[in-house]
A and B are shown apart, each in its own frame.
Chain A
Amino acid sequence: MSDLALHIPTDVVNGPTSLAFALLAAVAVGLCVVMARRHLDERLVPLAGLATAFIFAAQMLNFPVAAGVSGHLLGGALAAALLGPWLGALCVTVVIVIQALLFADGAVTALGLNVVNMAVIASFTGYAVIVLALKVLPRTRWGLGAAVFAAALVSVVAASAGFVLQFWLGGEEVGQSFGAMAAAILGTHVLVGIGEGVITAGAVTAVAAARPDLVHALRGSRLAETAKESV
């Protein structure tokens, strides 16, 4: 079901909250441009463009979850693991804006909400989890895989928690059922996150085996296994 969208449509979250998050998103994206340019200089435009094209293609790839049910990647943790949080968040932001303007997916008035959830929250929590997990786990194929799996799972749940927070701030008054609704949303996204985690971990370890220098989360160091093989 590639035509389904989970981008927030018109007026699910009220005007003042949407505006506040739009400002937050604008500041965050501006900061991402500054930080990404610091690392890439004039290479920013072609490299970020190609990386965004990759995230775009990755989102089109449907993977099976269980018999008959398939999902597609959100890509926040994938972008953060490979490109770093700043460039990763920037690329996912561009994808969200393209989807809103060219595919009518997510309202124009909710752009700030969607960018904060799926680009900013997902990339930065994902990257933080990888960095923390790699301090504990061994720097092997399995260690990196486990760290990226956890990062993708946490990033998807954190992004949906961002929506729950926005809904709590400026959504419909649902009273006592709010807890049940939040639990349903977060629970569903734990399942989505497991799928995201498996695919993201597979993709990142494949890149780490071939070109460890392209995995931003490894910060230039190689995996233990590949280092032995190359000697």
Chain B
Amino acid sequence: MSPVDGLYRPGDTPVHRLRPQVKIVALAAFTCAIAATPREAVWAFGVYAALLIGLFALARVPLTWLLSRSLIESPFLVLALAFPFMVDGPAVQIGFLQVSEPGLWAGWNLLAKATLGVWAALLLSATTPIAGVLAGLSRLRCPEILLQITAFAIRYAHLTVAEVTQMRLARLARCDDPRFLWQASALARSLGVVFIRSFERGERVWQAMAARGYTGRLPLEVGPAPASALQWSAALAAPALAAGIATWTVFA
């Protein structure tokens, strides 16, 4: 599988079958609910995590995959670990370390919310193919010009990524194995070559489109399918529950 395909894991589960537009809205709503929950409501984050893990089980995504993909946020986890030592406030003693209490809460807040946010986004990426995400964004009235650029970019990224990989292999085959930045000039030059090829290919693609009568609009009459009320209510059940919990914890 090419790296351009995203993190999609093919399957046929209730989560896969949901229309992409309802999943995108559900992701945004769920992420907002996570962000709005006060950090002291530790139990609420437990409920969110349980909900997401339940949905991952429903989508038949293994937990090991989820955990390995969660490592993507590790640079921000370093920031979370630094907060207890950076933030001012009353200190508490943990073992032989003296750390600030608001700092601990800040670190916990970042750790919990960043992880849950990534999990929610992973659920969308794992269960929705790229074309589905674009169709969903189109249903959600995302500007058509951006979607067309994105569709072209994804289609041709397969080619450019393959070209970059091919050039890397060619350099390796000629014993170019840079270990330091000042040895990387061949790498930079091959990047320049890939740009020239991409741009020239873009011009050729445009000429081919112009030859077929393209005037700036894609003649697509078939729009993406709408979602039924049942789909909307099924997809929004989890974010609605999360929003309820978030509201409860804010006012409690």
Contacts and interface: CB of A to CB of B under 8 A. Distances in A.
B234 interface: no
Q: Is the interface of B mostly helix, strand, loop or mixed?
A: helix
B27 A41 contact: no
Interface string A96-140: 011011111101110000000000000000000000000000000
Given A6-B75, A46-B152, A50-B152, A63 B34 contact: no
Contact of B124 (A33, A101, A204): A101
A220 interface: no
B149 interface: yes
Interface stretch (A153-161, A176-184, A222-230): A176-184
A148 to B, nearest CB: 11
A205 B147 CA distance: 32
B156 interface: yes
Contacts of A54: 160, 194-195, 198-199
A205 B214 CA distance: 34
Contact of A202 (B32, B106, B185): B185
Which size class do B's interface residues fall under? 35 or more
Contacts of B40: none
Interface residues of A, number: 78
Most buried by A among B24, B27, B109: B27
B216 A42 contact: yes
A172 B87 contact: yes
A198 interface: yes
Contacts of A50: 152-153, 156, 160, 198-199, 201-202, 205
B154 A98 contact: yes
B208 to A, nearest CB: 9
A61 interface: yes
A95 B149 CA distance: 10
Given A49-B149, A103-B7, A172-B106, A56 B206 contact: no
A28 interface: no
B61 interface: no
Contact of B114 (A10, A30, A63, A206): A10
Contacts of A98: 6, 150, 153-154
Contacts of A49: 148-153, 155-156, 202
B238 interface: no
Contacts of A24: none
Contact of A58 (B130, B194, B215): B194
Main secondary structure of the interface of A (DSSP, over half): helix
Given A10-B116, A12-B114, A64 B183 contact: yes
A194 B157 CA distance: 27
Interface stretch (B9-17, B52-60, B66-74, B222-230): B66-74
Interface centre among B102, B110, B156, B183 (most CB of A within 10 A): B156
B28 interface: yes
B121 interface: yes
A194 B149 CA distance: 31
Contacts of B113: 9-11
Contact of B153 (A82, A94, A101): A94
Given A63-B181, A204-B192, A57 B86 contact: no
A31 interface: no
A94 B149 contact: yes
A169 interface: no
A23 interface: no
B199 A51 contact: yes
Interface string A190-209: 00001100111111111100
B6 A199 contact: no
Nearest to B117: A10
A102 B157 CA distance: 14
Given A44-B145, A108-B121, A201 B153 contact: no
5 contacts: A175-B87, A177-B88, A198-B181, A207-B196, A214-B195
Given A58-B191, A177-B86, 9 more contacts: A9-B118, A10-B118, A11-B110, A30-B143, A42-B214, A49-B149, A52-B149, A53-B157, A202-B188
In the A-B complex, the 10 residue pairs with the closest CB atoms? A49-B152, A202-B188, A10-B117, A206-B192, A102-B6, A50-B202, A42-B216, A52-B153, A104-B121, A9-B114
